[in-house]
A and B are shown apart, each in its own frame.
Chain A
Amino acid sequence: MPLHAYLTLAATLFAIGLFGVVTRRNTIGILLGIELMLNAVNINLVAFARFNGDPTGMVFTVFTICITVAEVAVGLALVILIFRIRRTVIADHLDLLRG
Chain B
Amino acid sequence: MTLEPLAFWALSALLVGSALAVVLTKNLFHSVLYLALALTGTAGIFLALEAEFLAAVQLLLYAGGVVTIVVFAIVVTERLVGERITQTSRQIVNGVIISGGVLIGVLTFLARAPLPAARPPLPGDVTRAIGQALLSRFVLPFELLAVLFLAALLGATYFARPDD
Name A residues whose Cβ lies closer than 8 Å to a Cβ of B. Answer: 1-9, 11-20, 22-26, 28-29, 31-33, 35-36, 39, 42-43, 46-47, 49-53, 55-56, 58-59, 61-63, 65-74, 76-81, 83-84, 89, 92
Contact = CB atoms under 8 A, between A and B. Distances in A.
B89 to A, nearest CB: 4
B66 A35 contact: yes
Contact of A76 (B70, B91, B115): B70
B121 to A, nearest CB: 8
Nearest to B87: A26
Main secondary structure of the interface of B (DSSP, over half): helix
Contact of A4 (B4, B32, B45, B115): B115
B99 A18 contact: yes
Interface in B122-148: 122-123, 126, 129-130, 133-134, 138, 141, 145, 148
A84 B70 CA distance: 16
Contacts, number: 228
A58 B51 contact: yes
B57 A47 contact: no
A22 B66 contact: no
B16 to A, nearest CB: 6
Contacts of A69: 61-62, 65-66
Contact of A59 (B110, B138, B148, B163): B138
B73 interface: yes
A69 to B, nearest CB: 5
B160 interface: yes
Contact of B119 (A19, A50, A79): A50
Contact of A16 (B23, B58, B77, B149): B23
A42 B42 contact: yes
